[in-house]
Amino acid sequence: MIRLFVPGDLKAGGEVVPSADQAHYLTTVMRLGLDDELRVFNGRDGEWRARLAEVGKRGRRLRIEARTRAQSAGPDLDLIVALVKRPRLETIIEKAAELGARRVRPVVTERSNVPRANPARLTAIAVEAAEQTGRLDVPCIHDPERLDRLVGAWTGERRLMFCDEAGGAAPVLTALGEASGQSWSILIGPEGGFSPRERALVRGLPGALPVSLGPRILRADTAAICALGLWQAMLGDWRGA
């Protein structure tokens, strides 16, 4: 079943206009015709059954029929990730969406060798991944901020799973097995790692939980995927209802 994210409000009897890309996808790629069925969601109103109400060169409309699922969201899980080169960052965004992160917060660190990201492009990747997974919310992709700022604003209301390859951190399953808390952030550093100063700052934050992901140094994308999966399995919605 095709699922599309549409930003507009969804209600029975309503209509939405898909973007040009979505219309192309529906009619040319997926070959949907008039009255064919799909699902739509907007991150607020749940998932709805919709039908193609108009196809043609200029006209394109979806008719909204009935709600098929109530709105839901996964656990309160952030991924804080240092800016890394674009292909890896895009992989991280896609996988974070698949693995149920609620937000992704890119950070600039001392050793980040990439100064900026394109939040609109990253959001488009998150939307596409959300459509494919069946989740009804789309992870919020924040604008990049400096790690120092994030650390300075840290209130300690969330737990912080600090993926720390530099030695001395507990094995991840041991650490998470003894941990609790509803709201979590996972922190992954850049390819060059955190500076000693940053590492000390992060380790000193209230709620910080340094964890090791094993004896090998992982690339940032691998580390992010492992950390998200392990967290979901130990503390998140992989545990079942």
Q: Please report, as ranges, the residues that interact with ligand SAH according to CB under 6 A.
A: 163-165, 188-189, 191-194, 212-214, 216-218, 220, 223
Strands 15-16 vs 3-5: parallel, antiparallel or unpaired:
unpaired
Closer CB to ligand SAH, 75 or 192, in the complex: 192
Of 83, 197, 78, nearest in space to 148 by CA = 197
Q: Residue 201 Cβ, how far from ligand SAH at the closest point, in Å?
A: 14
Nearer to ligand SAH (CB atom), residue 42 or residue 109: 109
Nearest distance from C-beta of residue 190 to ligand SAH, angstroms: 6
Rg (CA), the chain: 20
DSSP 144: P
Least distance from ligand SAH to the Cβ atom of residue 99, Å: 16
Q: Between residues 139 and 193, which has the closer beta carbon with respect to ligand SAH? A: 193
CB of 172 to ligand SAH, least distance (A): 8
Q: Residue 170 carries which side chain, given as an amino acid letter?
A: A
Question: 60, exposed or middle or buried, with CB in 10 Å at 0-12, 13-18, 19+?
Answer: buried
Locate 15 and state its tokens: 């209509």
Tell me whether residue 56 or residue 204 sits nearer to ligand SAH (CB atom).
204
